[in-house]
Structure 1
């Protein structure tokens, strides 16, 4: 009788791992502690609930590494990408989803799968036998975190992650704001107007920076160190690096024309992206924050168009945990000290929803193959999947290991392109062409 695969955590990684294993013919039990045990960031008990953003980032599979990862996951019939495509929202060249409908659909699909069982219970120990995948994400419970630290013999690494606020669309002043994607990017009118823009002149920007720097912030407990992930820095931390930092980051004014004042170039622009299919909610792009709630409303209402903004959710900050995967995991994502246990998702030190789901996809397939007595070929290192798993299971320097998004810097050079002898566009296209060929070849043997 085929043994069951137990998956702890029903986020992006756990949901994808369960789907892949079940589709391969293995019975799966998802142990998701929500809603019985809540977290700081989650609002529901749905699987694959998105909390920090509703974006899967760029969908360009020829010039962007995360877009290539999208392509590879679609080619593998990934649950997360299939469902994201079903509930996507206009977002220019990015892939954004209605987060509520997306999570509800992922939950329904897994609950309806004949080989998947979903239980609402908290797992607090590392089992000695059976086949397990731990995909508990950055908000691993305290008891389970303690069990992982005890097993690995070292303190779990940690960094702090921030969440951006969400605004009710009806509270935005459209006599000051306008809809436009940067550089009018998109194939349809809806895509070309996927973002809502709030312009600032120089004086407004300078006053905003002053207020941001002076605002009350969340304080850390004694002994905690704030090691932020660079891809998700709070806006206060960015502004502390220089007054112009935000103008070259989430508030850059390029590629946009204000129809209310077409002859006036904004000094800075705050962008909001649609957060649901109804268009009733917008999240402030790149505005992760550690400001206290009262300070947030005061500061964000300084943004032209948001003077009377009503917030569906204010920003926040929480502690994320991840393991030192290069020292703890083997190439099959198994814990070296307990090979019956695999880890997947953000807890392994990948960053982002897509990367987490991708590692879940691999962990699910690898675990299912082991249960079924199959031997899968090595995940090709020249694919986006392979580049990422190679990085976390041995390619990264263990002493300086930090969470990492997929990027072309993780890829081996393509012959004939070393030293930058051809342009970046050609180089990236060569990476993606090679990756697609390698990934398709791997899938035919799986």
Structure 2
């Protein structure tokens, strides 16, 4: 067999070689690769996701502890990173000044309440003052309140006895006048009897005088005596009227004494009404301030950012004293969503969460869903970049996949928000379609 090498060279024993077969195999391989890749890129789906950085937070963030009034710190009962329960005493402020003011106000208030009970008893003409249950209860434990109650009770008794003595004296004078009136009535009756006895005699003497059987002197004497008796009776009637008038005046004085006591009690009650309310309000405000001297934990959690470290430190009103990171509330993830992707997300959308602080080899991705998306874009004060605030909640039981690893607020995470499946071809053509949408435009 001969083989030609070149146009003029023939090699004995070698078959002639053709490139058609390798070219065909190569073209077939390329066609298969392109066809296979095209088929794969058109028929296969790849899950899309928006990557958003985020941090772990508790459902209601950290709890700030403040004091509305401020003051001087006398006790510090917690340290940084200490775990506390709701109601535990954190700090105590010095309350000597407030307690002294409260004692003064309470003394004035208790005195006002005791006086009020006494005046109400005088107004209603009671046998003794009726003190409030609060006053009677306080009198058992506070000697000063007991003294005020007893003092007002003695004053009520003394004023009542004084009035009773004055009324008794007036009653005696009234009885004397009544006796005088009765005596005058008796005298008037006697004179009336005398006149009634003398009038027939006067008539008889007048008849005898008319017949000339007696002298006129006798008749004149009788008439003179009758006139004198009638004058005496008129004087007695005048005295009787005066005595009865004095009796009426005394009765009016008795009524005025009783009325004056009630009117005086009413006047004092009216004047002290506003004062009692003012003192009660001041005591309520001071009592609340005293109660707020003990600053207690509003929630259970871990102490963070303790700003007061030494006693006698001055605390300004509403100044943050410390923060408490709650440990018994659900954890949420707050992610910063780029504004260009906000139209691709919605509440309830599935999310995969990766904890950047844990090893990716041993820590699985956790499943969750979007809970809320902010209504408007926000701005990061440090980077000045805009973002939408998105809250992500893990599905029940997902934290158990961490195998006991502790998740604390502030820990960074990466959130992959699922946006739907697309083919690889769509991913490859997306940059070109976006470019051509902007190309061929008039500047």
TM-score normalised by the chain length of structure 2: 0.19
Identify the structure with the greater strand proportion.
Answer: 2
TM-score normalised by the chain length of structure 1: 0.19
- The structure, 1 or 2, with the larger RCO (C-alpha pairs under 8 Å, 6+ apart) is 2
Greater radius of gyration (CA): 2
